[in-house]
Amino acid sequence: MNTANLQLEGLIMAVAAISDTLTAKGVVTHQEMSAALGQAERSVDQDDGHKLSGPNRAATLFPIRVLLLANEAAQRGEKFTFSDYAEMVGRLT
């Protein structure tokens, strides 16, 4: 696997852990986190200025979708590995 991919995998999981900590401390709710990530997802989806191909758009949306799934899992008291989340994103798209 490309080293950059491993770095992004680590970064995504770190952001998921930070999000989980923020919700656990009551700084934001899971619903607020979901709304913010949903806004990011819509922003990428609606950005026609970059003329992204389908695969590039999917690649850009991937980390947002992993974080959305991680937020949903945390709300249920569950945690998964990056590979689990990647598989889930693949099934949902």
**pLDDT tens per residue, range 67-89:** 999 999 999 999 999 999 999 99
Dist CA 62 CA 93 (whole Å): 10
pLDDT recorded at residue 89: 96
Would the pTM of this model clear 0.85, i.e. be above it? yes
Cα of 22 vs its chain's centroid, Å: 15
How many CB atoms within 10 Å of residue 8?
Answer: 14
Q: What is the model's pLDDT at position 43?
A: 94
